[in-house]
Amino acid sequence: MRTTWFSKCMLAVATAGIFSSAPVLAETTLKMAYALSTNSHYGAGADAFSKAIQDSAKGQFKVQQFANSALGGEREVIEGLQLGTIDLAIVSTGATLNFVPKTGVFDIPFLFRDLAHARKVLDGDIGQEMLAEFPKRGLVALAWGEQGFRQLTNNVRPVAKPEDAKGLKIRTTENPIHLAAFRHLGVLATPMAWPEVATALQQGTIDGQENPLSVIVSAKLPQLQKYLSLTSHVYGPALVLMSPSVYDGLSDADKAKFKAAGHDAAIAMRDYVDAVEKSGIDDVKKGGMQVNTVDHAAFVKAVEPVYPQYYKQFGKELVESIRNTQ
């Protein structure tokens, strides 16, 4: 029979109890990994999660945060969750696509109208059914977090219409959903792990990148990029994930506490995104970036020919049910 993480902990506590008349309550430290700084929406989510689990579990668990990809890129972190070498993580769907392919549906360009639309889908049946897919891939999904809508930055020129993006070498995630749309627009899409991006921008290996304002601000991209174009081309969900080697060994009561902590992390990320959406433009302008709006309708029309590919991949009914959620 497989020895679970929980049974190992209980064995250690019981063994210690043999040699002591006093009751022993071991505090378990859990490793939580994420790609961005502690001063980011991921950091806000991690802090909220840590506080929630410490409060609800009465000091039974301590969450140790590993920010700035300290435990590897997102793909490596997810693999660590599957192996049990990492306990918790906050990641983007750009990474989960490789493990739970259906999550890629949320990365379709111009699928969501605004934040309220996206949140309603994720909190509803569609989003919750997607979370239930993760255990099939050796992962536990506690909650949907958020990054916000992805925007385009570069060092060559402002992008106001689809033609302006043609020929730009833009770092993207390793996400074929995004790649199909970018390449259709004539963008030289360049998949690259996040830890490599700053150096590539400094060296001119790439012209730009695309990320939500929450990332652009927290990663201090105004120090590396001249132009920010408010394309809002893709909504960026995030996920609070847990290793089944930890989760499966918990009591039902403790499982509920971790799910509640995941919910608190998601709310903290959304609150961070809401704040950045209000203040982020001013922040990047103060950092020296030129900011421009775009012809949004022209971009929507430009990527529409790619949608049959998305219909084939995810099913037209699912795509349209998301699009039409009110």
Amino acid 25: pLDDT:
53
Instruction: Tell me the mean pLDDT in the region 314-322.
Output: 97
Q: Which residues pair with 64 in a beta bridge?
A: 31
pLDDT digits (tens, 9 = 90+) for 175-200: 889 999 999 999 999 999 888 999 99
90 neighbors 32 (Cβ within 8 angstroms) = yes
Instruction: Tell me the mean pLDDT in the region 238-256.
Output: 97
* Residue that wins the pLDDT comparison between 173 and 143: 143
Amino acid 59: pLDDT:
87
Task: Reply yes or no on whether the pLDDT at 11 is more than 90.
Answer: no
d(CA 159, CA 178): 17
Q: Please give the full DSSP string across 145-164, using - where no structure is assigned.
A: EEEEEEEEEESS----SHHH
212 neighbors 148 (Cβ within 8 angstroms) = yes
d(CA 207, CA 226): 10
Output the six-digit token pair for 49: 């999660």
* Residue that wins the pLDDT comparison between 97 and 167: 167
Instruction: Tell me the mean pLDDT in the region 16-26.
Output: 46
Q: Which residue type is seen at 141? A: A
Residue count of the chain: 326
SS3 226: coil
Scanning the structure block, which residue is given the tokens 């071991």? 26
Scanning the structure block, which residue is given the tokens 């433009």? 281
| pTM (global) more than 0.75 | yes
d(CA 154, CA 124): 36
Instruction: Tell me the mean pLDDT in the region 278-301.
Output: 95
d(CA 149, CA 235): 4
Output the six-digit token pair for 279: 């203040």
The overall average pLDDT reported for the chain is 91
* Residue 235, C-beta contacts closer than 8 angstroms, at least 6 positions apart: 106, 111, 112, 115, 118, 148, 149, 150
Task: Reply yes or no on whether the pLDDT at 12 is more than 60.
Answer: no
Q: Helices 316-323 and 307-314, interaxial angle, to 10°?
A: 110
150 neighbors 232 (Cβ within 8 angstroms) = yes
User: Rounded to an integer, what is the distance from CA 127 to the centroid of its chain?
Assistant: 14
Amino acid 5: pLDDT:
54
Share of the chain above pLDDT 90, in %: 84
pLDDT digits (tens, 9 = 90+) for 22-64: 344 578 999 999 999 999 999 999 999 999 999 999 989 999 9
Backbone angles phi, psi at 321, to 5 degrees: -65, -35
**Selection from 212, 211, 236, 233 nearest residue 110 by Cα:** 233
172 neighbors 182 (Cβ within 8 angstroms) = yes
Residue 188's Cβ-side half-sphere holds a number of Cα atoms within 13 Å equal to 8
182: enclosing H helix or E strand: helix 176-184
Amino acid 1: pLDDT:
41
Output the six-digit token pair for 278: 């209000």
SS3 307: helix
Instruction: Tell me the mean pLDDT in the region 67-85.
Output: 96
Instruction: Tell me the mean pLDDT in the region 123-149.
Output: 97
Scanning the structure block, which residue is given the tokens 């902590």? 261
50 neighbors 65 (Cβ within 8 angstroms) = yes
Residue 77's Cβ-side half-sphere holds a number of Cα atoms within 13 Å equal to 32
Instruction: Give the Cα-Cα-Cα angle 81, 107, 154 (nearest 5 degrees).
Output: 100
Amino acid 24: pLDDT:
43
Which structural domains are found in the chain, ordered by start? 5-313 (3.40.190.170)
Q: Which residues pair with 91 in a beta bridge?
A: 239
**Selection from 266, 261, 264, 265 nearest residue 246 by Cα:** 261
